[in-house]
Amino acid sequence: MRKEMKSLHDNQTWELVDLTNGKRAIDCKWVYTVKDESTEAAEKIFKARLVAKVFGKRKYIDYTEGFIQSAYDPYLYMKRVSNTSFGLILLVLYVDDMLIAAKDRSEIIKLNVQLSSEFNMKNLDPAKHILGMEIHKDESSSKLWLT
């Protein structure tokens, strides 16, 4: 938990301010999960996350430039990078985990460089898991799916 708090503080995830009159603070809680269930290690690695308890629907947010938040999934952001089919870059953000997906690898690299200039990030190997789902890739058929 201390490591997670340090990461949130180092990345300036939030700014502590006085609560405005008539407003109420959003509740939060710490959630602990096993970092990688597939590991054979004798000692499991746990991940601590500070999660806001926000209930209710959010409306579609349309930004004139940049990413558009999905109307169906609040963790998914999309940006059109070309007028071709699959000319999108997808950004999945959940607390401090991120997944970037695009058909054009140069778009992934460009976004990663931009985000790395703003935030302290670790660029890990190709993703095998995201949000508790396993990522499968079949290069021979050019298919990607989650389970």
Q: Give domain limits for the chain.
A: 1-55, 57-147
Averaged pLDDT score across all residues of the chain: 76
Pairing of strands 133-138, 68-69: unpaired
Per-residue pLDDT of the chain (147 residues; tens, 9 = 90+): 677 778 778 888 777 788 888 877 777 777 777 766 555 656 666 776 666 665 554 444 343 357 888 888 888 888 888 877 678 888 888 877 888 888 888 888 888 888 888 778 887 777 888 777 888 888 888 788 888
pTM (global) more than 0.75: no
SS3 of the chain: CHHHHHHHHHCCCCCCCCCCCCCCCCCEEEEEEECCCCCCCCCCCEEEEEEECCCCCCCCCCCCCCCEECCCCCCEEEEECCCCCCCEEEEEEECCEEEEEECCHHHHHHHHHHHHHHCCCCCCCCCCEECCEEEEEECCCCEEEEC
State how far Cα 112 lies from the chain centre.
Answer: 12
Confidence (pLDDT) at 42: 62
- What pLDDT score was predicted for residue 37? 59
> Cα separations (Å) of 36 from 9, 46, 52, 139?
24, 8, 23, 24
46: closest CA among 60, 32, 27?
A: 32
- Of 47, 48, 130, 125, residue with least CA distance to 93: 130
- The per-residue pLDDT for 105 is 85
pLDDT of 83 reads: 78
